[in-house]
Amino acid sequence: MLKLYTNTNFLTETYRRQVFPLLFDLVFKKNDTLLSKYQLVAAIEDADVVVFPADYAVFLKQKHACTTLLHLAKQHQKPIWIYTAGDYGFTNYIPNSYTFRLGGFDSQLDTNTFVIPSFINDPYDTFLPQGFSALKKDSTPSIGFVGHAQSGFKKYVKEYTNHLKYRIKRAFNVILADQQSFYPSSIKRAKYLSQLAVNDQLNTQFILRHHYRAGSQSELTQKESSKQFYDNMFNNAYTLCLRGVGNFSVRFYETLAVGRIPILINTDCRLPLSSKIDWSKHCLIIEEKGKVPIAEQILKFHNSLTETAFENLQTSNRDLWLNTLRREPYFLEIYNQFKTKQQ
């Protein structure tokens, strides 16, 4: 059992959307499996870990509560778990702390930073009723993509304007976020996809949107666009995955959930649980600044797989998502890692 101490005043409906994901599962969902491993305690003396109850940017604004919890953790020499949400996340320099975040730049993150997967619902429950099955290997690799990808001067100006807004908000402390260089992700996606589309050795099935979720507003149109998104992913062995505003890709986890093979353009990403997972065995990772053309790397990877290995890779990716990257198994693995540290 790993015993957690936190300020329970923030474990209420008011802060429901900002609560540390593990605490959310323990308090709001009452996940029995996690409750068998984690226990909230009323006295800090009994705790193994002190947990900031909500997103760091939210909790930090509650100065008295934040300062009090920090003081108690220091006084009792307890490690601190801190959750920083949003596309950017925030690097803190609090001694004896561990940060949980969605992304960030691997070269800038310390060993006490844990990347959280994007926790998504199982696409087979809603959008793919046929259930999982591995695709047979074809001599020509099939690559899918449905999403926001657009080039052109107007698009560049729009994305740069959004970046300037982020910088202004950050400068005036409207948002608490790490500094980040301008990265026009939609334009980058369009560039990579166009390079692949003209290669006759690849079977490309791309549907490019000019807006996120095709600009869908109603529940019906959002469901329709999601169905098209997952159908494309299901019917193609590979999906191109590239970061968005933050340095991580939700599409990467969606591809794994479907049981297909991500082609990840590596922009100095840190992937979850990299001490446990050999990510090179689950996806094709292409360095953004590499000199070998993307299409050439895809063909080499595809041709290196036997028919059996090709199908096994898809099954392995589906199993990885089910057994490691969903909320419950992810925090079970975190439990195992921290219990090992205590021994």
Q: Model confidence over 114-161: pLDDT tens digits?
A: 999 999 999 999 999 999 999 999 999 999 999 999 999 999 999 999
pLDDT band at 233 (very low <50, low <70, confident <90, very high): very high
pLDDT band at 214 (very low <50, low <70, confident <90, very high): low
Query: Stretch 83-91: mean pLDDT, rounded?
Result: 96
Q: What is the dihedral of CA 225, 193, 321, 30, to 10 degrees?
A: -50
- What lies within 8 Å, CB to CB, of 207 at 6+ separation is 145, 146, 147, 228, 232
Whether the CB-CB separation of 83 and 10 falls below 8 Å is answered with: no
Query: Stretch 182-200: mean pLDDT, rounded?
Result: 97
Res 201: pLDDT: 98
The full set of domain ranges for the chain reads 2-117+327-342, 123-151+183-325
Q: How many other β-carbons are positioned within 10 Å of the β-carbon of residue 313?
A: 20
The edge-to-edge listing of strands for the beta sheet with 38-40 is 38-40, 2-5, 49-51, 80-84, 97-101, 113-115
pLDDT at 180 over 70: yes
Q: In this structure, what token pair is assigned to residue 299?
A: 């063909």
Question: Which of 119, 102, 133 minimizes the C-alpha distance to 258?
Answer: 133
Q: In this structure, what token pair is assigned to residue 8?
A: 């329970």
Beta-bridge mates of residue 146: 207
Query: Stretch 197-202: mean pLDDT, rounded?
Result: 97
CATH topology of domain 123-151+183-325: Rossmann fold (3.40.50)
Question: Which of 293, 295, 294, 286 minimizes the C-alpha distance to 267?
Answer: 286
Res 259: pLDDT: 98
Q: What is the dihedral of CA 256, 259, 263, 269, to 10 degrees?
A: 10
Query: Stretch 160-171: mean pLDDT, rounded?
Result: 96
